Amino acid sequence: MNETTVWWVLAGAIVATELITGTVYLLLISLGMAAGAIAAHLGLPISVQICVAAAVGGGSVVIWRAYKKARIPPTPLPTAQDINLDVGEVVYIEKWSDDGMSSTKYRGANWQVSLMPGETASSGAYRIAEVAGNRLIVKKN
């Protein structure tokens, strides 16, 4: 079996593994294997083929990682108002317990309520900042 066939078989095996696992990094490594195969087609020595495969595969992983870090992180779901329609709504709290918890009726159901860090407990209107399971986390309106 010649060198180009080995490179293409390796690239195909890594792509098949990626289809099973679903990670993009294996696709980038298979891109390096394909670059090694092209280097073999050009008749370059095996040491150069390996260097080309490592440079293209590793370089693409580094570039992808830098791209992912540079992207703006998505808003967490408990505070994303376009996903969670409760965020931003107003609830009225009559009284707070000593541990900073309360309960209120909201959308026809009883909800546990807790304060955002740094907020002080007093009766009145509060805005929902996030929803954690069946608990509303609120801040003063």
pLDDT, one tens digit per residue, over 66-122 is 999 998 876 666 666 667 788 889 999 989 988 889 999 998 888 999 998 888 888
Predicted pLDDT at 82: 66
| Domain edges within the chain | 3-70, 77-140
Q: Region of 2 please: left (phi>0), alpha (psi -120 to 50) or beta.
A: beta
Q: Tell me the pTM.
A: 0.55
CATH code matching the domain that covers 77-140, chosen among 3.40.710.10, 3.40.640.10, 2.40.50.140, 3.30.460.10: 2.40.50.140
